[in-house]
Amino acid sequence: MAGETYATLVCDEVSMDVVLVAPGRSALGVAHVARRLTGLSLWHSKTLVDRASVVVLTRLPEDAAGQAVAALREAGAQAEARQRP
C-alpha cells in the first residue's frame, strides 16, 4: 500500500538476569541480601536461596545487574549476570 512506512526499533540497553548459582557457606546472609534486592519477605528469600540455582532478578540493565551480582558475591554466594536471549 502506498504511503506506509516501517521502522525498526533498536535497543541499546541489554537486559540481564541475575542468577544465584549457589548460596555458599552463609545462606542466611545471602537471603538477607536477596531480600534487600527483591523486596521479598525473609522467609521467601530464604526459600529462594535454598532452591539455587535460581534466577533472582530479571530484565535489569547491565550496570544494575552487575551491582546485584556484586552484593550477592560479597555475602558469599556464587552469582552471575546472564544476558537475556
C-alpha cell at 21: 548459582
What mean pLDDT is predicted for residues 24-41? 96
Q: What is the overall mean pLDDT for the chain?
A: 91
What pLDDT score was predicted for residue 84?
Answer: 83
Domain ranges, ordered by start, for the chain: 25-83
Question: Considering the entire predicted model, what is its pTM?
Answer: 0.83
The string of pLDDT tens digits covering residues 51-63 is 999 999 999 999 9
Name the phi and psi angles at 25, rounded to 5: -80, -25
Thinking of the domain 25-83, which architecture would CATH place it in? 2-Layer Sandwich (3.30)
What pLDDT score was predicted for residue 8?
Answer: 63
**β-sheet with 16-22: strand ranges across:** 54-60, 16-22, 78-83
Q: Is the pLDDT of residue 1 over 90?
A: no
What mean pLDDT is predicted for residues 35-61? 96
